[in-house]
Structure 1
Amino acid sequence: MPLADPRPILAAARLRGYGVGAFNTTLLEHAEALVAGAEAAGAPLIMQISENAVRYHGSLRPLAAAARALAEAATVPVVLHLDHAEDVALVREAVGLGFTSVMYDGSKLDDRRNRAVTREVVAFCHAAGIAVEAELGEVGGKDGVHAPGVRTDPADAARFVADTGVDSLAVAVGTSHAMATRDAVIDLDLVAALAAAVPVPLVLHGSSGVDDATLARAVTAGMTKVNIATHLNKCFTNVVRARLESDPKVMDARKYVAPARDAMATEVTRLIRVLSGALV
């Protein structure tokens, strides 16, 4: 099926009180796992390619082409999303390649410049029918807003959305990027206050650091799009490591990558069910 627009998917989730999983892909096998996991759950998927992944590959086009082919062959709606793009030229390239959603990350700019550039990105993307996510401040793990103690102010968040016209907003409520342990403490009262003040779906970055029960409570409190990357990378890598340790003579990458892909798909299905409110 054609790539999906995230706006009706997130609007329905926000209205009905469930979360939508947004998972990152760096390798072809990651993308295969994400689609397989979403299909097993019978749920829509937001497949994300970050600017970091683009730098790793040296180009957006090859990975985007593979992800798009998998997405269009999926039996569930799949959004192709550019994640944490700081380069406006990369945003424009993604739009040209058929992405249906982008996140412009102006968090390293001062507030006034962030709002101005975000507004320009929104105007360009909306003219092409593409949804835009932005971040108010900087989500932690990247030397910024999701550092301990930093939080998004609900009134400021509402003004940011009004100033820029973004379709969804990533906010700081206690999580941090690249956490290898699931012990982040989310300010659920703040999530509820932000959900009441902000007219667009809220996005939780750094969700790998959040345990299942707290993820479910964060969604109930008002989070809609939930980004998870490190946790799935850990799941994938643990299987690769175990397979290599169990058979030091293995040389065929398929022998250890395939089970890692399968494990990642299984975890994607489980996480989607957690976000839907069905803790398993």
Structure 2
Amino acid sequence: MPLARTGELVTRAAEGRSAVAAFNIITLEHVEAVIAGAESAGAPVVLQVSENAVKFRQGRLLPLARAATAAAERASVPVALHLDHVQSDDLLRQAPDAGFSSVMYDAARLPYAENLAATRAAVAWTHARGLWIEAELGQIGGKDGKPPLDAHAPGARTDPDEARAFVTDTGVDALAVAVGSVHAMTTRTAALDQDLLKRLSATLSVPLVLHGSSGVPDDGLVEAVAGGIAKVNVGTALNKAMTGAVRDFLAAHPEAVDSRPYLRAGREAMVREVERLIGVVAGPGSDRR
């Protein structure tokens, strides 16, 4: 089927008090695993390509985007393509022609006024081209090996009143909020501030997004979706599943030189994790069409 649109998937999830899972992809195995897991779960899914992934792919967006599009068009469930954590305006401007229906513009590292101005400009550019846009307020931390802010540091949590003004002044379609999750966690020990999340959900009129979801236990994710999260971003959990399976295969088969068997093991491990996580965030009563 044709590529789905991220905004439509997230809006439908928000209306149903559910969430759509969005998985960061790096290799073709990631693409295949995410789609296979979504098909097994019978749920729509978002394929996310981050700016860091583009850097890994030698700065070229199109090869991975074209592969993802080709795979998505053969899927039996709706699959959308999202450009994640974009800081480069040059990369932002490649999104429409590469098949992306949405972007996450990341200016959260900037002081509030600069974040506001940069995001407002990105919103104007993307909306003029029919793209849905997500932004971030508050610092989730953990990207590029940087530690998260202390929980009590200024800016470490999203302030509801500031968030309401930010959404109104920028016109963003969704907001990633900092409520205690951290990027790149390999343990599932993050404790979300669920009370803050509920206040943000009650204050804001746009869908909320949770980044750093790999570090959140299942019960925390379930409560976060019930509290207003409509898009759940996952990256590290897939990499952990893939790397663990590849490591186990090579330990059991030290003579192996053909990459296909261990990549197959890694892909299958990611399929299982995708299906499991979709079951957690979509919920048994959600509309999975």
What's the TM-score bracket when you normalise by the shorter of the two chains? Answer: over 0.9
Residue 98 of structure 1: how far off its partner (Å): 1.7
Residue 278 of structure 1: how far off its partner (Å): 4.3
Counterpart secondary structure, 2:82: strand
Aligned residue number for residue 24 of structure 1: 24
Residue 5 of structure 1: how far off its partner (Å): 1.4
Aligned residue number for residue 14 of structure 1: 14
The answer to whether the 8 A contact 1:137-1:145 is kept is: no
Q: Provide the C-alpha distance between the structure 2 equivalents of 1:146 and 1:171, rounded to a whole number of angstroms.
A: 14
Letter in 2 for 1:257: L
Asked if 1:219 corresponds to 2:229, the answer is no
Letter in 2 for 1:56: F
Letter in 1 for 2:42: G
Asked if 1:268 corresponds to 2:274, the answer is yes
Counterpart secondary structure, 2:72: helix
Residue 145 of structure 1: how far off its partner (Å): 6.7
Q: 1:146 to 1:209 in 2, by over 3 A?
A: farther
Q: How does 1:151-190 map to 2 (within 5 A)?
A: 151-190=157-196
Asked if 1:235 corresponds to 2:234, the answer is no
Task: Map Cα deviations across residues 31-90 of structure 1 (whole Å, 9 max, x no partner).
Answer: 100011111111111100000000011111111111111112211111100110100110
Deviation >6 Å, runs of 4+: none
Q: 1:62 to 1:224 in 2, by over 3 A?
A: same
Letter in 1 for 2:100: F
Residue 124 of structure 1: how far off its partner (Å): 1.3
The answer to whether the 8 A contact 1:239-1:256 is kept is: yes
Question: After alignment, is 184-193 or 269-278 more displaced?
Answer: 269-278
Q: Provide the C-alpha distance between the structure 2 equivalents of 1:227 and 1:95, rounded to a whole number of angstroms.
A: 21
Aligned residue number for residue 4 of structure 2: 4
Q: Taking structure 2 as the reference length, what is the TM-score of the superposition? A: 0.93
Q: Provide the C-alpha distance between the structure 1 equivalents of 2:25 and 2:6, rounded to a whole number of angstroms.
A: 17
1:253 aligns with one of 239, 252, 259: 259
Aligned residue number for residue 33 of structure 2: 33
Counterpart secondary structure, 1:227: strand
Residue 147 of structure 1: how far off its partner (Å): 4.7
Q: Provide the C-alpha distance between the structure 1 equivalents of 2:244 and 2:181, rounded to a whole number of angstroms.
A: 23
The answer to whether the 8 A contact 2:101-2:131 is kept is: yes
Letter in 2 for 1:215: L
The answer to whether the 8 A contact 1:5-1:79 is kept is: yes
Q: Provide the C-alpha distance between the structure 2 equivalents of 1:101 and 1:153, rounded to a whole number of angstroms.
A: 25
Asked if 1:65 corresponds to 2:66, the answer is yes
Residue 109 of structure 1: how far off its partner (Å): 2.0
Q: Provide the C-alpha distance between the structure 2 equivalents of 1:148 and 1:30, rounded to a whole number of angstroms.
A: 32
The answer to whether the 8 A contact 1:39-1:76 is kept is: yes
Q: Provide the C-alpha distance between the structure 2 equivalents of 1:146 and 1:275, rounded to a whole number of angstroms.
A: 26
Q: Taking structure 1 as the reference length, what is the TM-score of the superposition? A: 0.96
Aligned residue number for residue 203 of structure 2: 197
Q: Provide the C-alpha distance between the structure 2 equivalents of 1:243 and 1:10, rounded to a whole number of angstroms.
A: 37
Q: How does 1:43-58 map to 2 (within 5 A)?
A: 43-58=43-58
Residue 110 of structure 1: how far off its partner (Å): 2.0
Residue 108 of structure 1: how far off its partner (Å): 2.2
Counterpart secondary structure, 2:125: helix
Counterpart secondary structure, 1:49: strand
Q: Provide the C-alpha distance between the structure 1 equivalents of 2:15 and 2:150, rounded to a whole number of angstroms.
A: 30
5+ residue gaps, structure 2: none
Task: Map Cα deviations across residues 111-152 of structure 1 (whole Å, 9 max, x no partner).
Answer: 112111111111111111111010113321134776534211
5+ residue gaps, structure 1: none
Q: Provide the C-alpha distance between the structure 1 equivalents of 2:149 and 2:74, rounded to a whole number of angstroms.
A: 36
Counterpart secondary structure, 2:94: helix
